Amino acid sequence: GAGVSQSPSNKVTEKGKDVELRCDPISGHTALYWYRQSLGQGLEFLIYFQGNSAPDKSGLPSDRFSAERTGGSVSTLTIQRTQQEDSAVYLCASSLGDSLYSNQPQHFGDGTRLSIL
Amino acid sequence: KNEVEQSPQNLTAQEGEFITINCSYSVGISALHWLQQHPGGGIVSLFMLSSGKKKHGRLIATINIQEKHSSLHITASHPRDSAVYICAVGSYGQNFVFGPGTRLSVLP
């Protein structure tokens, strides 16, 4: 498809397990963003990639969270030793260039709904 | 960190009404993004702007850099416009900070 694709769409797991969330950006989009939206809360920035490098990791809530991007395309967000407060919708977005410098809009995926039991 | 406020929090309108949603922020920015989140959760980018005014169909977005304020207007509103509208601001060296959103319901 032409849009941002995220998988899985839903993930239910037990507290303490590790989870891996995947994002396939729009082809050719160099910038990729991860956000989190907790129930009833606003969107929260997690991390931003330009190509394969992450110039801004300031939003990652703890060292249990990590993300990587390979080949300037697919990105994975990994949460280790999940906690109940990690339950949220994790959204990925991509843009043609850095949104802030190029005024390019971000295109969002449908998100992964993560539930920690 | 930038503080972003939106008003109103909730808005109910009759079909056909002119709607205005406001966004204000505390620190100078390089870009402002208006997003629409549908009831099913999907997010769509409406506008990205750093100055002036942009128009797309029935939607108009304006920004006043000096006053640190942006407005999103919807003309001839329709029930399909019912969604949460989110303002996000970004500045060089600091990534996007999101407002709490405005929940709009347009009644037929």
Extract the tokens encoding B107.
Answer: 């009644």
- More confident of the two residues A102 and B83: B83
Regions of chain A where pLDDT drops below 50: none
Average pLDDT (B82-99) is 87
* Count of C-beta atoms within a 10 Å radius of residue B100: 16
pLDDT at A99: 65
- Of A35, A91, A81, which Cα lies nearest the Cα of A60? A35
pLDDT at B83 over 90: yes
| Rounded CA separation A16/B75 (Å) | 49
Extract the tokens encoding A7.
Answer: 């998988």
pLDDT at B31: 87
Report yes or no: B5 at the A interface, CB cutoff 8 Å.
no
pLDDT at B86 over 90: yes
Band of residue B60 on the pLDDT scale cut at 50, 70, 90: very high
Band of residue B2 on the pLDDT scale cut at 50, 70, 90: confident
Cβ contact, residue pair A45, B100, below 8 Å? no
- More confident of the two residues B4 and A40: B4
Cβ contact, residue pair B96, A105, below 8 Å? no
Of B33, B43, B50, the CB nearest to A91: B43
Extract the tokens encoding A99.
Answer: 């949104």
| Rounded CA separation B72/A5 (Å) | 28
Q: What is the least distance, in Å, from the CA of B22 to any CA of chain A?
A: 16
- CB contact set of A2 (below 8 Å; sequence gap of 6+): A26
CB A75 within 8 A of CB A31: no
pLDDT at B101: 95
Extract the tokens encoding A38.
Answer: 């907790």
Interface test with B, best of A95, A99, A101, A110 (most B CBs within 10 A): A99
DSSP state of A52: T
